[in-house]
Every structure is written in structure tokens, then in C-alpha cells.
Amino acid sequence: MNESIKRSFSMKKPKFTERFPLLDIMLTCMTIVLVLCFGYFLFVFLNSSTSATSSLSVTDTIPSTIDEIESSFSGIKIVTEISNDLNAPFAIQYPQSKHIQFNDEVKKYIKTLKYNYLTDIAAYKQNHQTFPSELNISFETFEHNGIYSFVIVKNEYIGDNEGEISIHTFRLNPDTGDRITIEHVFDYHLQHLLEISQLTEERLYQDEALINHLLPEQVAIHTQPIWENFQNFALAENEIIFYFEYNKLANSEAGIPIVAIPYQTINPLLTEFLQALIVEEKTEKPNTAQSAINQQEATKNKEIRNNNVEHEEIPKQKRVALTFDDGPDPKVTTRILETLERYDAKATFFMLGSRVEYYPEIAKSVHEAGHELGNHSWTHPDLTKANNDKIASEIDRTTTIIEEVTGQKPEIFRPPYGAFNDNVLNLTDLSMILWDVDTLDWKHRNASQLLSYVKQNTRDGSIILMHDIHTSTADGLDAVLAYLAENDFQFVTISELSE
């Protein structure tokens, strides 16, 4: 029995008693490759996680103050975040609504800008010990037929790098939370898109401030009848505004190319509810800012007439008041001061208290150069939506810091956005100052267009609004001063204008 079993086992030998050496080599190589790949991906994952966590922690640990206030647009709040951190200062404003999805989209965009700013600072810091840097994000709100358009403007500079500017828009139906796209505006009609494409290209070449800076091949690409080319737009009161990317279809000297097309020009192309609104908008709305200017002019003219009675033999010289808002800024304000000095021109600077606190030496240099200092609030909120304590704090804190830093107590006040009411007026003894020439430098960021607006609108006694936080304003100021000087305008401060 045992022998038969042995024989049986001996008859069941496997076909291969040993493997080929080549197979062992292949299996070994495959194992090594798999181990190496796993190790590589593990390293990448851990490194990226650490980097993300580190960046997030840096962002979260930067000291900042966050304020939220109602805007003048129903259902919209303005969030303001300011950091005076020595390594990464920033001033950020963005809109929020009652709609979570919209809020998340805006916050995500703002967070991305902030993250990129901090990342750029970290990269620049590898080769530089100390350097100035700043991130400014502000926004403008337009309303058309119940639809809000938010135009978010970013201005960033780090060290000696060329400043970065961008404009990004969001549209919202505040009642439903729906976001409005360019397809909605033109009813998804491709023929309408083609006509808008052609009209936009024509207007770009008709713009005298852009014509010498356009890049024809890029213009053709970015104005093709593709919906995506026209998604960055705003529905303003009387026109649709298209914003194109900086340094894309025009060189950097052109700033951000902007094309505005009145609704009446494209009435047949618009979706029905926009066409109906055109009729409603034929009645002009009162301009609160201009009304206040007229009141100031009436008072000023009365004083001038009294002076003329006493000094009839002295011919009256044309005068203009240059004003700069939202500073001080270490780069732009300094350049503006240098340009003003070349023309022996005095101006008025309406400063934000939060920026005076961070840049006291710049504020002091403005005062020492003989310019007038004005109060522009602490954080640039819409004061018509603030309670009494908030209004008083915004104004009083700014007055205090300006006086502490410069020794000059401001006697004039310009409300953020030019927005004020009786409540704001009653809570300050400072004289309210607005403007009658808006250069829109915050919007176009174009040095050439700065002069264009001044030429079209400036007259004797004008108050010109500019901002000393935009590089393009500093770039274009020399041409503005040269033009005004050639046309016999005398540069005066706001207080001198009232004399």
C-alpha cells in the first residue's frame, strides 16, 4: 500500500520544477517601480498638504480687522478687512448678500487673490530682505432693472515688481439669487453676439486713449463672437460695460481696456426686460453729489463777488483744486508729491485713518510739502447705512490720527462714495467736500484717459477727484498738470478755493 502511494505521488510531479530567472528579474523590477511610485506620490501629497496648511495658517494668522456694514443697495452688505501687518498689509472690500451661493463665490475669489498675494510675497522675500508691498481690493456697484453688478478692482504691488491690476465682475438678482450671464443679456442669440463682437471691436479702435496701444492680433482674438470673451461685464444704469484683461489686447500703458455701449445703441439686441427699462431711464435721476457741489459753488461765488467789490481792478484767475482720495500710499503718493512739486502745485489729500496709521511717514511728508489734509473716514464705509456710533468713530478716529501724525487737524471731510445724509452732516463739524470732475481713475486705470476726463470737464472752480493709490494716476498726473498750467489754471487747495 505504501509503495503504491509513493508511486502515485511520484507520478503527480508538476510540469515545472523551477521558474525561469527572467521571470524573477521582471517581478523584482516591477516591485521596485511600484515602491518608488508609491513613495513619490506619498512625498508629493505630504509636501503639498504641508504647503497648503502652511499657507492657510499664514493667511489665518495675519492680524486684521473685519467690519460689515449695510450698503446703499438693498440687501447688500459691504465687508471690509484691513491688515496693517508689516509683512503683508492689505485693504479689502467685497459685497455680500442674503444668498449663500453668491457669497461663497465672492469669498472664494477674494480668498484666491489674497492667497496669491501672500504667495508672491513669500517668493519675493527669498531674494530681498525688506520691501514695500500692498494689496488693495475695492468694488463699485451698479443697478439696472433690479439687477446688481459688482465690479471688483484689485491693485497689488510687491517690491520693485510692476504692479498688478485686474477687474472682475459679478452680477446678481438680489431677489432670486440668480447670477446673470452675457447669454441672459442677449437671449442666447448668436447673431446678437456677432453684432456685439463687431461693435466692441469698432469702439476699441475709436478710443483715442487706446488706439496707439492696441495689439491688433490680440484684439481680433479677444473680440471674437464667443460668449466667454464678453463674460466680464457690468450692467450700469444706462450702458453695458465690458472689461478686458490687463496687458492682453493692449500693452500695459493702456491700463485695463474698457468698452461702454449705451443700451439705446443696442436696443434690438437686448433681452426684453432690458429694452423696457430704456424707456424708464429717459428721466434723469437727481445727482446728489452734484447738488452738494452746486450748494458749495453758490456759497463760494457769493464770497468771490464780495471780493470783487473790494478789488475790482484785479482780474480773476481761473483756479482748480486737485484732490486725492484713499491714501496715503508709499509708492503712489510719493510719486504724486514729486510731480506736484515740479509744477509748484498744491493739492488736497483726503486720507483714510487706517492708512495713516500704517504709513505715518507718508502722511507727514504730504503735510510738510504744504498740501491740505482732509478726512475720508477710517475704513471707507457707506456712512448713510451706519449707526451714529459708527459714523462718529469713523470720522473722529481719522481726525485724531491725522492730527497726531502730522500736527494738522483736518477741517474738511469727504464721505466715502460721496454718500451722505442729514445724519452724517449732523454728526461732524467738518465741512463736507465733494467734487464736480470725476476722472474715474479707479475704473479705467489708464494714464491717458485721466487727461481726457480733465479736458472734457474742468472749468474755473472745479474740484477734480483722483486717487493716490493707483499707479496709472501717478503716471498720468504730469500730463494733467501740464495741460492745466498751459490753460492758465492756478492750483489751489480746497480751503483756498473757498477764499
Q: Which three cell numbers stand for residue 344?
A: 509748484
**What is the rounded CA–CA span in Å between residue 93 and residue 91?**
7
325 labelled catalytic = yes
Kindly tell me the sign of the dihedral angle through the C-alpha atoms of 357, 358, 359, 361: positive
380 labelled catalytic = no
**What is the rounded CA–CA span in Å between residue 207 and residue 204?**
5
- Long-range contact set of residues 30-36: C-beta below 8 Å, sequence gap at least 24: none
Residues 83, 102: contact at Cβ < 8 Å?
no
- Of the listed 467, 468, 470, 475, which one is catalytic? 467
3-state SS of the chain? CHHHHHHHHHHCCCCCCCCCHHHHHHHHHHHHHHHHHHHHHHHHHHHHHHHHHHHHHHHHHCCCEEEEEECCCCCCEEEEEEECCCCCCEEEEEEECCCHHHHHHHHHHHHHHHHHHHHHHHHHHCCCCCCCEEEEEEEEEEEECCEEEEEEEEEEEECCCCCEEEEEEEEECCCCCCCCCHHHHCCCCHHHHHHHHHHHHHHHHHCCCCCCCECHHHHHHHCCCCHHHHCCEEECCCEEEEECCCCCCECHHHCCCEEEEEHHHHHHHCCHHHHHHHHHCCCCCCCHHHHHHHHHHHHHHHHHHHHHHHCCCCCCCCEEEEEEEEECCCCHHHHHHHHHHHCCCCCEEEECHHHHHHCHHHHHHHHHCCCEEEECCCCCCCHHHCCHHHHHHHHHHHHHHHHHHHCCCCCEECCHHHCCCHHHHHCCCCEECCCCEECCHHHHCCHHHHHHHHHHHCCCCEEEEEECCCHHHHHHHHHHHHHHHHCCCEEECHHHHCC
- Of the listed 120, 207, 325, 436, which one is catalytic? 325
**What is the rounded CA–CA span in Å between residue 402 and residue 359?**
11
Q: What amino acid positions are annotated as catalytic residues? A: 325, 467
